[in-house]
Chains A and B, each alone.
Chain A
Amino acid sequence: MSKKQSSSPKRTHVVKRESGWAVKKEGAKRATKVYQTKEEAVKGAQKDRDSGSDVVIHKKDGSIQKWEKSKKK
């Protein structure tokens, strides 16, 4: 079954990786960057937030820890 493309505004996800935490723009094939810690990844995702993306911070099981709205109106 194929994955439906989300129709929501731009989102950047902070997601668990085997070797740390990744910042990944939704729809991108690869992560922007993988960080050693979640704190670093959340910090790294703020650039996307400044440029118009919501930042979705996931827990290690994939559920949502926090949803930070874009700073750009």
Chain B
Amino acid sequence: MKFETNIFINCPFDKDYFPLLKPLLYVIKRIGFNPRISLERSDSGEVRLHKIQELIESSKYSIHDLSRSKAKKVGEYFRQNMPFELGLDLGCKNYKKGNKNKKILILEEEKYSVQKALSDLSFADCKCHEGKSIELIYAIRDWFAENGIKDVPSGSALWDDYNTFYADLYVEKLKIGFKPKDIDRITMTEFMRFIDENLK
């Protein structure tokens, strides 16, 4: 996999986030890039931190969604994995030789929430998705376009493509005996494989 087209994705991997993760993966592949997530291979013998480091070092681009870092109820811990991995990535960009041209996008749900919680990042350009799949797609396509990627389709074209893709997924999975409720629960590995097949 090529460094120039790899994109490290730092986000939660729980089912509450899947409505954002799925269009994120689709749009990245649709634009011709390769998302790298820690779920792409499952090896319990592999130390998670080493896997994260390998993904960061092998990716020119990275997307860090800090929108779900905040605790939702009293007594719940602040989720530190996402800010920690962003720190690793910034370290890799700034201290590892030859990595100055790495491009980093930070996503947030509410405007300026990242700067409130992480004032060291007050310089950073964050994009806001408001927790909506459609807004996330617009944010990602704008980021690609701002970074000089040519011929990026419009946000609405990508959103429509994603909806059509999901209909294709639905049809194909029903054909092999899935129930509708099972289709939304397929693993991210299967989901990414289907994107590849659909875009061939």
Q: What is A's interface to B at a CB cutoff of 8 Å?
A: 1-4, 6, 8, 11, 13, 15-18, 24, 26, 56, 58, 60-64, 67
Contacts and interface: CB of A to CB of B under 8 A. Distances in A.
Given A13-B163, A61-B23, A62-B163, A2 B180 contact: no
A38 B198 CA distance: 28
Chain A contact residues, majority secondary structure: loop
Nearest to B168: A6
B184 A1 contact: no
B155 to A, nearest CB: 9
Chain B contact residues, majority secondary structure: helix
B61 interface: no
A67 B162 CA distance: 16
Given A15-B160, A58-B167, 14 more contacts: A3-B161, A4-B200, A6-B164, A13-B163, A15-B163, A16-B134, A60-B132, A60-B134, A61-B20, A62-B19, A62-B22, A62-B133, A64-B167, A67-B170
B193 to A, nearest CB: 15
Interface in B186-200: 198-200
B199 A4 contact: yes
A66 to B, nearest CB: 9
Interface string B29-40: 111100000000
B183 interface: yes
Most interface-central of A1, A2, A26, A58 (chain B CB within 10 A) = A1
Interface in B132-187: 132-135, 156, 159-168, 170-171, 180, 183-184
A28 to B, nearest CB: 9
Nearest to A9: B171
Contacts of A17: 134, 156
